[in-house]
Structures are given as C-alpha cells and as structure tokens.
Amino acid sequence: MSNSIQVTFWGVRGSYPSPGTRTARTGGNTPCVQVRAGKHLIILDAGTGVIGLGNSLVNQFQVDKKPINATILFTHTHHDHTQGFPFFAPTYLPVTTLYIFGPRTLEEDLHGVLARAMLPPVFPITLEQLPCVRIVRNLSEGELIVLNSDHTEPRVLAGQRDGLPHSVDTVHIQAHRSYAHPQGVYVYRIEHNGQAIVYATDTEGYVNGDQRLIRFVRGATLLIHDAQYTEAEYASPTTAKQGWGHSTWQMAVNVAQSAGVKQLVLFHHDPDHSDEMLEQVEREAQAVFPGARLAREGLTIEL
C-alpha cells in the first residue's frame, strides 16, 4: 500500500555474524533493515543481512522485470555495517540504480571507503566494475533527504522541512559520537504519511537518558534502538563495556518512554548472546515497556 510503512529485518546482530543453532530463532546476520515507505525502498546499513535482501530483490526482478531502485543509508562504516555490500546481488545488474548516503570517515569520502573494501587482492571485483548505476554522496548532520515519488534522484537539502508539502517523504539525520565511534554514527528518522521510524544503532545511553536523541525521536511511531549489552556486561568490574558505543535494553527503553514512542525494537544483538538469553531480555523489557520486542531476522512490522 502506498500509504503504509513496512519494516523488515534482514540482519540484527552487531560486531560479527553468529550463525548456528544457538542463534537460529533470532538470526545471526549483521545489520540490515529494509523499509518500504510508499513507493520508496530504503535500506538501512549493509551488513551480511543485505545479502538475503539482495537475493530477494533479484528474484522479484526476474518475475516482474521492474528495475531495482533503492536508497541505502549507512549509519557508519564499521565492518559489521558494510561487510555485505560487495555481495549485494542487485549491484551486478545494469537495471539497478542505487542512491547511497552516509558519513565521511576520518576525512575520507564514503565512496572511497566502499571502494577500498572491494580492492584486489581482497575482492575480485572493484566498485567501479559493478554494472549498476551508483550515486554515492556524503551526508552532514542537519541535512535532509527528500525522497521523490517519481523515483528520480533524492535531493539533499540543508535544514528542516519547512516549506515542503506534507505529502513529501523525508529522512532527517542526527550525528552521535562516542569513545568507540569518534567519527560519529548517524541516526536516521524516516517520515512518511504522518508516521516516523527512527533507526538508532551503535548509540550509547547516558544518565537520565540521551536528551538530544530523545528530542530527535519524539513523536516517532517506531524506534529501532541498539541494545547490545546487559547491565551486568555494561558495568562489569572486570570487563566493563562502558564507552564501547552500545546500549543496554534499559537505555533503549528509557529513550522510548521519554520520547513517547509506542513501539520499540531492540537491535544490534551481541554475537555471543543465544536465543534463550535474548528472549529473556525481551521478557524483562516487556515487563517495563510492553511495546518492546526483539529484532529477529524475518520480522516484518507494518505501520
């Protein structure tokens, strides 16, 4: 439906993939979330989960013969958020057009980071050899992506959406920095038909909540928030995870409650956490915030 937002999770783990029977129910692929907002296909990060998404898109193309058009938004360029991109099957089709956005890293353009990950001898095909059409652009905090309904190239504007028609779909950007992510991680807010999804991975909470993030999230329909650690892991006297750039489920719930969000998806699961452990986290989170649930591969949420 053109007025709906559909969110599908293809990769939900952080740090590195963790396949196997102990993670079978939750999934072991690294971050990738598909958002269909009206006519737009938006891909959030390209961890190993993007491989399955890409195969699905190619299979659909073989049926309907419609060109593949997608916008890929990278939160940052750590390996677990980019490692699936060289294996994204639509990039090997000339009928594919990709609009790729993300932050600069250590003063290097996003295009350079992606190209370097595909240079021989570590990969047989270079970025420039891919037959798809690629438009790669750096983003800056405070810019706004305007998604056009006619599938022409998205526009990037400075500032807020003042003066834009209510019917126009937009993506807002906020940068977050931590000891573990000194170059910053982008948080994205996708707005369509009066609803909003916020994707906040690789963020770390603060005492009394991340007030800046809470303001950015306020009024959203759905919040996807990092929840990699338990409180015991985060504050361990021997192997503390403070400053590692990730949150506990309590931090995620705090943001959701403070921002008035009804639905919260706990995301970026630690690769060492089993299905049983994560399901216990889900039960504990739901006891405090009934609208919370785990991100699971294959989970689709319709708004």
pLDDT tens digits, one per residue of 266-292: 999 999 999 999 999 999 999 999 999
Distance, CA of 159 to CA of 140 (rounded, Å): 11
Cβ atoms 267, 201 nearer than 8 A: yes
Give per-residue pLDDT as tens, 151-188: 678 999 987 766 677 667 899 999 987 666 666 799 99
Burial code of 17-53, b = ≥16 C-beta within 10 A, e = fewer?
bbeeeebeebbbbbbbbbbbbbebbbbbbbbbbbbbb
Distance CA 5, CA 40 (A): 9
Range(s) of the domain holding residue 219: 5-302
Mean pLDDT rounded to a whole number for the chain: 93
Distance CA 246, CA 230 (A): 10
Residue type, 245: G
Number of domains in the chain: 1
**Closest of 209, 186, 298, 206 to residue 261, by C-alpha:** 209
Q: What angle do CA 73, 32, 108 make, to 5 degrees?
A: 40
Q: What is the CATH number of the domain that holds 117?
A: 3.60.15.10
Q: What is the pLDDT of residues 54-82, one digit of tens each?
A: 999 999 999 999 999 999 999 999 999 99
Residue 231: other Cβ atoms inside 10 A: 11
